[in-house]
Structure 1
Amino acid sequence: MPAVTTPREEAAAVWKPVMFRAVVAAAFGALSVFWQQPSESVVAYAFGAYLVLTSKSVWDFAVARVVPAPVRGLLGGAAIAWSFCAVFMLIFATTTATSIAGGIGLAVAGVLELAVYLRHRRELVPVRDFLLTGSISMATGILLLAWRGLDHHGVFGVAGGGAIITAVFLLIAAFGYRHDARGEAAGR
């Protein structure tokens, strides 16, 4: 099977938002691994910040000039879900609020990302990334909602684990898009 190369215009339009999302996920994941004794409110604030920055990166992807309007609508819905849940987390800043809001936000956004993949993967190559990011987001959200006995460190670990997996995948994708954007421009 031949390698799929992202068209230059698509790659150039999306590599920066994908890279930003990857860096945000990597930073949140690293924070969840290396901060051994965070307080309950720190977990809520860090998780909330992660969701807000993730929604910003996905919105930046959605408004790229190569993205069709239906994709923009679905990704806008994901960004809204993350943002509303982050605000809820930041207001209440308890383990229960963080777990429930984070779980709902991740699960809803994951379903919307999967919908983007299922409906639009043939018309825009970078949309194929949403199969994995949507699956990870949805699975992480379901885990946060299902594990009622988690303390704040457990919530941090589950959310951070999903972020690490997402970060690794998106870093690879972003560097690939960057290469495709520059490679074709150089006349390959």
Structure 2
Amino acid sequence: MPAVTASPEVAAAVWKPLMFRAVIAVAFGALSVFWQHPGEAFVAYSFGAYLVLTSKSAWDFAVAPVVPSPVRGLLGGAAIAWSFCAIFMLIFASTTAMSLAGGIGLAVAGILELVVYFRHRRDLVPAREFLITGVVSTVTGLLLLVWPGLDAHGIFGVAGGGAIIIAVFLLIAAFGYRHDARERSTGR
């Protein structure tokens, strides 16, 4: 079975937003692993920043000229979900706010990413990347919502664990698209 690759034009348009999201996820995931005793406010602010920057990367992907408008709308919805939940989390900065807002934001955005995958994976090759990110975001969000009594460190660990999985997957994808985009510039 032949490998399905994105055209160099499509790859050039999407590799930077995917790389940005991967780097943000790496930073948040690493912070959650190595910061052993985070305070409630620190977790709320870092989790909120992660959601806001993730929404920026989704928006940057969505507005690329090669992205069809239905995908743009779905990813715009995901960016709005992440942003509103981050604002709520930053305003209230408590474990309850982080569990509820983070869980809802991740789950809603993950479901929207899954819709992008199932509806558009044939007409936009990079939409295939949203299967893993959608599943991981949805599961992470649901864990935050249904796991009662998590303290700040537990919320940080669950959200950071999901971020690490997304980071690894998106780093591989972004480097692949970067390679495909280079073929366009070198004319191979």
Alignment TM class, shorter chain as reference: over 0.9
Distance 2:96 2:5 in 1: 44
Tell me the secondary structure at the aligned position of residue 140 of structure 1. Answer: helix
The code of the aligned residue for 2:60 comes to D
- Hey, what does 2:85 align to over in structure 1? 85
The 5-angstrom pairing of residues 133-152 of structure 1 reads 133-152=133-152
Q: Deviations over 1:48-85 (max 9, x none)?
A: 00000000000000000000000000000000000000
Distance 2:46 2:5 in 1: 36
Greater alpha carbon shift after TM alignment, 176-185 vs 104-113: 176-185
Q: CA contact under 8 A between 2:9 and 2:184: conserved in structure 1? A: no
Distance 2:54 2:6 in 1: 23
The 5-angstrom pairing of residues 8-87 of structure 1 reads 8-87=8-87
Tell me the secondary structure at the aligned position of residue 5 of structure 1. Answer: coil
Using the aligned pairs only, state the percent identity: 79
Q: Deviations over 1:78-107 (max 9, x none)?
A: 000000000000000001100110000000
Q: Deviations over 1:98-129 (max 9, x none)?
A: 01100000000000000011111111100000
- Hey, what does 1:132 align to over in structure 2? 132
Q: CA contact under 8 A between 2:81 and 2:105: conserved in structure 1? A: yes
Q: In the comparison of the two structures, how many residue pairs are matched?
A: 188
Distance 1:6 1:123 in 2: 10
Extract structure 1 runs of 4+ deviating beyond 6 A.
Answer: none
- Hey, what does 1:155 align to over in structure 2? 155
The code of the aligned residue for 1:145 comes to L
Q: Deviations over 1:117-172 (max 9, x none)?
A: 11111111000000110000000000000101211100000000000000000000
Tell me the secondary structure at the aligned position of residue 21 of structure 1. Answer: helix
Distance 2:120 2:2 in 1: 21
Tell me the secondary structure at the aligned position of residue 64 of structure 2. Answer: coil
Unmatched 5+ stretches in structure 1? none
Distance 1:129 1:56 in 2: 17
**TM-score, structure 2 length as denominator?**
0.99
Distance 2:37 2:119 in 1: 43
Q: CA deviation at 1:185?
A: 3.1
Distance 1:43 1:186 in 2: 44
Question: Is residue 123 of structure 1 aligned with residue 129 of structure 2?
Answer: no
**RMSD between superposed Cα atoms in Å:** 0.7
**TM-score, structure 1 length as denominator?**
0.99
The code of the aligned residue for 2:122 comes to R
Distance 1:120 1:173 in 2: 17
Tell me the secondary structure at the aligned position of residue 187 of structure 2. Answer: coil
Q: CA deviation at 1:187?
A: 2.8
- Hey, what does 1:113 align to over in structure 2? 113
The code of the aligned residue for 2:59 comes to W
